[in-house]
Amino acid sequence: PTAAAIAYGMDKKDKGEMTVLIFDLGGGTSDVSLLSIDGEIFEVKATSGDTHLGGEDFDNRMVNFFAADFKRKYRKDITGNARAMRRLRTACERAKRALSASQTASTEVDSLYEGIDYYTNITRARFEALCMDLFRATVDPVERVLRDAKISKGEVQEIVLVGGSTR
């Protein structure tokens, strides 16, 4: 957490003592740290996280959704085909990143399975609905660090978002 705070220039802000929340949503885990920063002095007040919740979980939701969609449309189950699932996952990762900046993302995989081209779209609203329980679960460690440090949300002056899935 200290490295993230330094990387975002928190040690250069001349605001006196600050309370900073670092929220790191990586590929496989989520971590939250609460720091007190006064000039170049960093003190970790509390940490929490979930070692089983990260960006891959959001990818998995989209992959499973599209695999079910493929099965519904074409009456073919691709879940047992590692190559098809890998190619679908790559397309889903691309779509997830696109949804960071757009309301809709296309997923296109030529010859996904048995020569069938799979082209479809997903909206940000649909993606959010698919993953709502995961989004809500990312709030738990935030609430834990605030409780452990005995401070309210209003006392946090800065929030630093780290990791690709925070986009």
Ordered by where they begin, the domains of the chain are 2-53+138-166 (3.30.420.40), 55-129 (3.90.640.10)
Inter-residue contact 163 to 57 (CB < 8 Å): no
Inter-residue contact 58 to 134 (CB < 8 Å): yes
d(CA 44, CA 23): 13
Summarised one tens digit per residue, pLDDT across range 52-107 is: 888 889 999 999 999 999 999 999 999 999 999 999 999 999 999 999 899 999 99
User: Is the pLDDT assigned to residue 147 strictly greater than 60?
Assistant: yes
Q: What is the pTM of this model?
A: 0.79
Summarised one tens digit per residue, pLDDT across range 6-41 is: 666 665 656 678 888 988 887 777 889 898 888 778
The pairs formed by 103-109 with CB atoms below 8 angstroms and a separation of 24 or more are 107/66
